[in-house]
Amino acid sequence: MPRDGEVEFEAAAVAESEIRVGPDFFIEKGGHRYAGGHLLIDLWGASNLTDPQRIETALRAAATAAGATILHAHLHQFGEGGGVSGVLVLAESHISIHTWPERDFAAIDVFMCGACDPQRSIPVLRDAFRPTSVDLSEHRRGRLS
């Protein structure tokens, strides 16, 4: 249930036939052309925020679900039991995370270009971190039209 000022997010269904990818990997969808979709995901009341290996596994699963190609992963934990910051570098862009276990909060960015679907990462991330609330915004980066 959304808190004051929050909007519950429902992803709009778009038929695969309505999405085209150009030779520059820009996306054409709904009459718009842009570099990629960028999801900003805030997880509140989240768990599993202190184990870098578990977090990396979750990010890898999210990237795979979205159809992305993983090039490199790097995560850093800030002291035992502390928060974790990390990034998966993708051929199609990146997924990053910053966790604050003392607040049961994680901030995740999922930015992807080409034929990937960043929306498909959301159920995987929800399952991995079990948040009680999710704030989600989507931006079309590099919008040309």
- Bridge-partner residues for 100, per DSSP? 105
Catalytic residue among 38, 113, 116, 121: 113
Please indicate, yes or no, if residue 102 is contained in any of the structural domains. yes
Identify whether 116 is a catalytic site residue: no
Per residue in 14-65, pLDDT (tens digit) is 444 455 555 567 777 778 787 888 999 999 999 999 999 999 999 999 999 9
* 20/48 Cα distance (integer angstroms): 36
Please indicate, yes or no, if residue 142 is contained in any of the structural domains. no
Is 51:114 a contact under the CB 8 Å cutoff? no
Average of per-residue pLDDT values in the chain: 86
Please indicate, yes or no, if residue 13 is contained in any of the structural domains. no
Please indicate, yes or no, if residue 5 is contained in any of the structural domains. no
Task: Provide the CATH number for the domain around residue 93.
Answer: 3.60.90.10
Catalytic residue among 93, 94, 116, 121: 93
User: Could you list the residue range(s) of the whole structural domain that residue 69 is in?
Assistant: 36-137
State whether residue 29 is helix, strand or coil.
strand
Question: What was the pLDDT predicted at 145?
Answer: 74
* 142/114 Cα distance (integer angstroms): 13
Regarding beta strands 36-44 and 133-141, do their DSSP bridges make them parallel or antiparallel, or are they unpaired?
antiparallel
Question: What was the pLDDT predicted at 22?
Answer: 53
Please indicate, yes or no, if residue 43 is contained in any of the structural domains. yes
Q: What angle do CA 29, 64, 69 make, to 5 degrees?
A: 80
Please indicate, yes or no, if residue 12 is contained in any of the structural domains. no
Task: Specify the pTM.
Answer: 0.81
Please indicate, yes or no, if residue 10 is contained in any of the structural domains. no
Catalytic residue among 47, 85, 96, 98: 98
Please indicate, yes or no, if residue 20 is contained in any of the structural domains. no
Count CB neighbours of 78 within 10 A. 14
Between 142 and 66, where is the model more confident?
A: 66
- The number of folded domains in the chain is 1
